[in-house]
Amino acid sequence: IHLKEQKTTLVNVKNLLSQLVNDQVTIKDFNNRQDIFIHVHEASLRRTLIDIIENAQMAAGDVGEVALELTILGDKFVEIKCRNSGECFPERVLKHLGEPFLTFKKNGNGLGLFNAYNFMILSGGEIHLRNTEKNEAEVRLLFPLISLRETK
């Protein structure tokens, strides 16, 4: 089944991210009082976020940190960032995002970022990888913003 054939729904991104954090993952700039909604296939979004968070945790190892950040860019986009302070992305991964079977992990199959890339394209979003000035690996997911709702 292709993503376009799957049912998409309004997903509260803030709630979903809250469900996926654990003791090793912190959320930064997440004190926004608004619920943030995007229109996507929820199971595919969940799988993409789990893959990205798990990859970040592996790269961070026992001494690195993993941080998630949820931001509204203007009134058009929702940005989810996942950073780790462990390993940076190798240059070949940065240059060949979207290619299947590209991995730098010992037991990796090279499908996690490939699947994330395809999900983002099919969702009308974007995915960007970079290594920050602080030697952190960063994955940025951009989705069209659907709506905001004040929460108490």
pLDDT tops 90 at residue 147: no
Q: What does the pLDDT read at residue 6?
A: 66
Cα gap 51→114, rounded to integer Å: 11
Handedness of CA 84, 12, 123, 8 (dihedral sign): positive
- pLDDT score of 49: 95
Question: Residue 30: is its pLDDT beyond 60?
Answer: no
More confident position, 28 or 3 = 28
How confident is residue 127, by pLDDT bands cut at 50, 70 and 90? Answer: very high
pLDDT greater than 60 at residue 1: no
Q: What average pLDDT does the segment 125-135 reach?
A: 94
Residue 150 has pLDDT above 60, yes or no: no
DSSP single-letter state for residue 142 = E
pLDDT at 104 over 70: no
Q: What is the mean pLDDT of residues 98-115?
A: 77
Mean pLDDT value across residues 54-74: 89
Q: pLDDT (tens digit, 9 = 90+) per residue, 42-61?
A: 999 999 999 999 989 988 98
Report the percentage of the chain scoring pLDDT > 70: 87
Q: What is the mean pLDDT of residues 94-111?
A: 77
**pTM recorded for the entire structure:** 0.86
Q: How far apart are CA 103 and CA 84, in angstroms?
A: 17
Does 91 or 146 have the greater pLDDT score?
91
Q: Report strand pairing: 66-73 vs 25-28.
A: parallel
